Structure 1
Amino acid sequence: MSNAWTIVEAPLLRSVDVMQILGRGGRLGPVMGYPEASLAWWLVSDGAEEHLADLPQLLVRPRGWALCCPPPHQYMHGRGWLERPDGNGKLTSPVDLGAAFSWVSPIRMERSG
Structure 2
Amino acid sequence: MITVVGTVTLDGDPLQSGSVIFSPKAGAVNDATSGQIIDGKYELDCVPGEKNVMVTGTTASKKMAPFRYLSPSAELTASVESGSEQMELNLALSSKSTRRGRSR
Give TM-score, length-normalised by structure 1: 0.28
More strand, by proportion = 2
Give TM-score, length-normalised by structure 2: 0.30
